[in-house]
Every structure is written in structure tokens, then in C-alpha cells.
Structure 1
Amino acid sequence: MATGDCVFCGCQVRSQGEHALPRWLFRRWEGQGPFTILVNGEPAAKRDGGTERDELPRVTLPVCGSRDPMDCNGWLNSTFEVAGKPQVRAVLDHLQPIEGAAVAAFVRWVVKTVLLYAHPLAQYSEIGHMGVKGSVLEVPGSALTVMRRTGEFPEDLTLWMAVVDPAGPSVGSPVVDRVCLPRIIRADGGVSDSSSATVGLSLPDGRTVLFQLLFHPLIDVVNPFESSGWATRLWPDPPAALDIAAHPVLGAEGRRELTSWFFVGGAEIGIQRGERWPDGPTGRALRAVEQGGVFPS
């Protein structure tokens, strides 16, 4: 059970909280166990020492419910689940192409789901406190408060989608230079770091779809997998149409490269008000001496 203050409105949560992966999504895997959860690529042990699970772990987050004035759980349902659920089923269960408003509803559902799944306060059943290293999005709490008030996602969130078949052939994958993202020192003295989370969901043909969400405050980035056509950018500006069955397929090596194409650890970069990296006077002056960085020109 998720306890604490609601991540959206701050009130005390008196219910079990919100399931980051909704119950209806878990029904896709009923009867398909046993499952093994990987943490940093290694099987995560259960409390009894085993690794196989009859059911996938639930992930809950402190979100207030219908007994509370704001009912943020109900807001999530009416804002994202109602419109997104039929599109998720069409894409993930039936590999159907979608277009227009259906794509927008699907993409908004995915962004919401990864945001909750990778939240620092998310609690996992079975694997408890272990979590998944590298899959925590350090989005400021104030951004979720604004999201609740306006219905808009935080700025500088980008979502990509890729399809993977580790056991099958793939045409190839790009030769990736890892992208080094700097630590941003804002004009107000605050510090902003980038972070990302990747969630994989199985497809009925045995492949996996990966959704990679990157939070990159005040930084403009170029994903080499998007540039070479192996990944599709879904947010911001969702595509007009989406056909997951026709999407290029990465192999196991491509998956490893996709999930590690960027890292945080570059120089601390001071950004003036209204400026972004790498554009702007500061970015242009320091870009030449930034070590290990691969940035758009």
C-alpha cells in the first residue's frame, strides 16, 4: 500500500493509492507466469530467496482517492485512462494501426504511466525497496502539482518508442556515440539533472515494445535512434499515425544501446534566464570544451 502525501495535490492519502500499471493492463499476462523481474539485468530475489513469481509485482504510488477533496485518482482515470485504454488495447493487444486523436490518447496514457511507474515514491510489491536502478525520473514535485492543475505534462519530457526482438533478426542499429548531458545550474541558483526511465511491455507476437521517457530540463537533445529511424518520438508532438506492426525491430544489442545512449556526468553549465543548452551565448562559448558530449549543432 502506498502511503504518504499525494504526489499531485499534497493531501494525506487514505487509500491504497494509484496503481502505476493499472489492473486492467495486468490482465494481459494472466496465466502466463512464472515471471522473473530483472534489476540491473540480474534476477531480483523474492523475500523467500527465489526469483520466479506467479504474478508480476504491483507498483503503487501515493495518490488521493474518491474520499478526498481533490480525488487525483479519479482525475487520472477520467483524464488518461478513459481515452487511452481502448487505444492501448488496439496497439498492444491487436497490433492495430491508429491515427489522429487515437495516437494522442495513446501517447498521453504512456507518458502518464511511465511518470508514475518511475516516480521516486513508487512502491513495488515483492521486490520492495529494490526498485530498478536508472529507472527513477527525478521530475520536480512542483511539476506534478502544475500537471494536476493544468492537465499539461512537465516541460522537457520526451518519449520515444522502439520495438525489440532479442531472439529474432534485425537489420541493424545505429552506431551510437553516448550523449553526455551536463548538470544545469539555473539563473535562480537551482540545479537540474536529467534522468530517464524505460518500460517494456510484451506484444502478442513475442516482441517487446520499449517506451523511453527522458526528462532533460533546459537541454535540447537528439536521440540517435530517432535520427536513424529505429525509434519513434511520441512526445511532444505525437505523430499523425502509429503502426507498431510495421515498426523497425531492434535486436538484443540494439536494446542495450537504446537504454544507455545518454548519461549524466558532463560539466556543470550555468544557464541564464531564457537560455537553453546547447544554444544561447553560454552554450556556444562552452560547447567546444565540453568533453565527451554529443550535441546537436
Structure 2
Amino acid sequence: MAKGDCVFCGSPVSSQGEHVLPRWLFKRWGGQGPFTYYVGGKAIPKRNGDTQRDGLARVMLPVCGINSPANCNGWLDRTFEHAGKPQVRAVLDDLRRIEGAEVLAFARWVVKTLLLHAHPLAVNSEIGHLDIATSGSVLELPGAALPTMRSTDRFPDDLSLWMSVIDPDGAAVALPEFDRQLLPDVHRPDGGGGRSGATTLGFSLPNGRMVSFQLVFHPLIDIVNPFESLGWATRLWPNPPSDLDIADHPVLDAAGGRALTKWLATGGIGIGLQPGERWPNRPTGQAFRAVSER
């Protein structure tokens, strides 16, 4: 597939493609700023060395539109945006409790958005392409993953999404040290497996807090998020909760928010499995410890 081909169907894309963060979402940040962009925890400077931008970057991904018979842009709108938009506004803007089908639509919108935002071909208007080798924000899915998602309306297996709430000015939260989980590159003779990865995307809330979404692709690996076990994170995918009340969610402080990305270590080890096997969450003989930032 060429860089200009649709990531879902392979059709040529003549325009810039799909806005990963839709235009209606950008209205949340009208008049706000300045904005700073980070890759791998480091602020990305402009040519003049300044790290602050007045505007919010747009992220584009090659997705075909109305000029293509597949119209994958229209499919994204019908499948995710139409159902998710009211729920995203309810949660992020109104801090309203949602339940049942609303939670499902909200979770599906967030998974879709993080999947596209972390795609290797996504282009950030301020940063450009992200590099899989150097960025902790890119997910490398198997080549057939997105075309299969297009044809079935189903996300790839072994995707997990968690939500946490952070108050940058909140009181310190005592978090215990925990074993960092290693996610190896897993392969199976039947073609299953692949490279694990994680991406995080945060949004401001009207009460001064932030909501952080972490999407993890862990092919053929069973994982346990310690923040969920401790009550600081809510799992939204798979199996979304029956209700979601962001205003009543446990709140991490700034250091706790930074620690959210430190419970995983990816790459570096290749694991071969037998047909039907999965990689269990067990010691690997290599020690990883989360380091407190306090």
C-alpha cells in the first residue's frame, strides 16, 4: 500500500484524507492555548526553537472519501462519529453520567480516534510523521487489521482502552511501586501476534482536570493494568462498564498522570508460541520496576 492509499481499503486518496480529530471537536479549544506537543515525553520545538504554538495541530490520515466507491470517510462518520459525538460532548463538555449504549458509543469513538491518531501514516500539521522506532505514540497493527475492521465493523482483537482522570494541581496521591509489565513481540505459526504498543491521548475538562485515554495493542498477550486494579483507571474496551461518571471518577495528581505510561515496556524480546497459545502475564526473567517521580 502506498502512502497515499486509503488505510482501510487501499483506494487512492487524492485529498489530504481524514481529520483524525474531527472539526467539531476542535471547537472545544477555541481561544485556548498556547499549545505544546510532545513525542516520547519531549517537547517538540518549532524552527525558531519555541515549543509553544498558538493553534492546535491537525492530524490527517489517508482515508478515501466521496470520490471513492468505498467512501471510508463516510463509513467512519456513520459507524463511529454519528453515535459517539453526543456522548463525547456529554462526557468531556458537560461531565454528565452516561450509561448502557451511550458508554458503548463513547468507548468505540475513543478507540477509533486513538487508533487513527497513532497510525504510522498519520501526519501532524506541526510535527509531521511520527517514527515507530523513536515514538511511544505509534501503533503498528498487522497489515490486514484496518481492512478487516472496515469489512466487519469490528476492532482488532487484543485492544484495551483505559480512562483516567488527572488534576495537575491536585493533592498528592500515594501510589505503590508495581512491577512493570513487558510486552514482547509475539508470533505464532498461524500468523497471529505482532508488535505490541501503547498510545495515550488526553483532553482538558471544564473543571480544570484532564482525562487521559490509554490504548494498548497486545496481540496474543494477556495483561493486567495495575491502575485499574488500584481503582485509578476504568477499562472502556473491551467490555465497557454499564455506566460512566467522569465527574465522580477517582483523580490522580500530576505525578500519577505521568506514571500512567510507565507500567508497560514494549519490544526488545521476540516470543514464539505454539498454535492456540497466548503469552501469559508472568515473570520473564528480566526485571522492570516502575520508578516513582516524587
The Cα offsets for residues 31-90 of structure 1, whole Å up to 9 and x where unpaired, read as: 012212223333211234322212111000000001100000000001000000000000
CA distance in 1, matches of 2:191, 2:99: 43
2:287 aligned with 1:292:
yes
Which SS does the other structure have where 2:128 is aligned? coil
Percent of pairs with identical residues: 64
Specify whether residues 71 and 174 from structure 1 end up closer, same or farther in structure 2 by C-alpha distance, changes over 3 A only. Answer: farther
Match for residue 220 of structure 2? 218
Q: Which moved further from structure 2: 268-277 or 232-241?
A: 268-277
Q: What's the counterpart of residue 152 of structure 2?
A: 150
Q: Provide the C-alpha distance between the structure 2 equivalents of 1:111 and 1:248, rounded to a whole number of angstroms.
A: 21
Distance change in 2, residues 1:66/1:252 (3 Å)? same
Equivalent-residue separation in structure 1 for 2:213 and 2:183 (angstroms)? 20
- Written as runs of structure 1 = structure 2, the 5 A alignment for 1:1-297 is 4-129=4-129, 133-188=135-190, 192-265=194-267, 267-278=269-280, 290-292=285-287
Aligned residues: 286
8 Å contact 1:266–1:290 — kept in the other structure? no
Gapped regions of structure 1 (runs ≥ 5): 280-286
Structure 2 CA distance, aligned partners of 1:102 and 1:157? Answer: 20
Distance 1:94 1:181 in 2: 37
Aligned to 1:31, the other structure's residue is in SS state coil
Return the TM-score normalized by structure 2: 0.91
Between stretches 46-55 and 102-111, larger displacement belongs to: 46-55
- What is the CA–CA distance in structure 1 between the aligned matches of 2:89 and 2:42, rounded to whole Å? 30
CA deviations on 1:198-257 (whole Å, 9 max, x unpaired) are: 001110111110000000000000010011111000000000000001111111221122
Contact in 2 for aligned 1:107/1:234 (Cα 8 Å):
yes
Give the letter for the 1:55 counterpart. Answer: G
Gaps of at least 5 residues in structure 2 are 290-294
Question: Which stretch shifts more, 165-174 or 204-213?
Answer: 165-174
**Amino acid in the other structure paired with 1:290:** G
1:99 CA drift (Å): 0.2
Aligned twin of 1:284 = none
Assess if the C-alpha contact under 8 Å between 1:218 and 1:277 holds in 2: yes
- Note the alpha carbon deviations across 1:100-119, whole angstroms, 9 max, x for none: 00000000000000000000
1:171 Cα offset (Å): 3.8
Higher mean C-alpha displacement, 246-255 vs 142-151: 246-255
SS at match of 2:198: strand
Could you tell me how far 1:188 is from its partner in structure 2? 3.9
Determine if contact 1:179/1:292 at 8 Å carries over to the other structure. Answer: no
Contact 1:161–1:233 (Cα < 8 Å) also in 2: yes
SS in 2 for 1:239: coil
Superposition deviation, residue 293 in structure 1? 7.0
Contact 1:181 1:264 in 2 (8 A): yes
